[in-house]
Amino acid sequence: MSLSLQTHTVGDIAVIACNGRIVEGAETAALHQQIRDLIPIYHFFVLDLHEVSFVDSAGLGLLVRLLSRLRSSAGDLKLCGAGPNINKTLTVSRLNSVLASYANEADAIAAFYDREPGQDLPIRGAVDIVCIHSSANVLAYLRELLRQAGYGLLTTGNLSDALTLIRATEPKVVVIETALRDAMTGGMPEIFRQFTQDLYVVDVPRSFATDDAGEAGARLLEEIKQRTPLGS
């Protein structure tokens, strides 16, 4: 069975879902190329192994090589969803102490922000704001606007990933598109309320995308400054 790869991002972490076998040959070459192509943009990776049935020695060797390369450039690699056979392989080879493995994607992402033994600071920089907007263009503008204002932030276009980032990073503020918030259905409004009950939530109005960019940005920055502890 050939290896298929699907990539999505959560904040600035690339998550690669692997389906098939990670073995010597075309499979390891494909995974290696996928990460090489993404390294200029991303430095933090999660490999989701839920659908991986087998990893051979060459496959494990590739994972170790990738981990070493990423750490040499201040990045990191974590695994999630490994089944019993792969967990056994990691244990027997004693690579479980090198390749950090987690039950699910959310736990692996959260681990990027945990304190490591002997470290005074988390691996990642502090996150002040998680920003959620459905427009990639508006999100890009918000990302640069808030970073230039000195805030540490992560951005995402969907609520599911936003909840993962909020859990992992414990920001002080959530900036969310009003239309996206109003469109929540089912149990999502209550889940969102639970995740943000101790946070400051700032809405991005529907007119933000079409207003004068400078004026809209200035209004948002002023609201963050006036309504949240980030302005104190």
* CATH, residue 98: 3.30.750.24
Are 157 and 83 members of one domain?
no
118 is a domain residue: no
Number of domains in the chain: 2
Q: What is the mean pLDDT of residues 86-110?
A: 89
67 is a domain residue: yes
**pLDDT tier at 120 (50, 70, 90 boundaries)?**
very low
What pLDDT digit, counting tens, does each position of 134-178 carry?
Answer: 888 888 888 888 988 899 999 999 999 999 999 988 899 999 999
Residue-averaged pLDDT of the chain: 88
User: What is d(CA 35, CA 22) in angstroms, rounded to the nearest whole number?
Assistant: 14
With 0-12 CB in 10 A as exposed, 13-18 as middle and 19+ as buried, what is 100? middle
Predicted confidence at residue 122, as pLDDT, reads 45
**End-to-end alpha-carbon separation of the chain, Å?**
57
Predicted confidence at residue 121, as pLDDT, reads 40
Give the domain range for residue 149. Answer: 129-227
Are 102 and 158 members of one domain?
no
- How many Cα neighbours within 13 Å face the side chain of 26? 6
Are 11 and 95 members of one domain?
yes
Residue 224 scores a pLDDT above 80: yes
User: What is d(CA 135, CA 156) in angstroms, rounded to the nearest whole number?
Assistant: 10
Q: What pTM, to 2 d.p., does this model score?
A: 0.78
Predicted confidence at residue 213, as pLDDT, reads 80
Are 48 and 133 members of one domain?
no
**pLDDT tier at 2 (50, 70, 90 boundaries)?**
confident
175 is a domain residue: yes
Measured in degrees and rounded to the nearest 5, phi and psi for residue 40 equal -65, -20
Are 161 and 221 members of one domain?
yes
Residue 119 scores a pLDDT above 60: no
120 is a domain residue: no
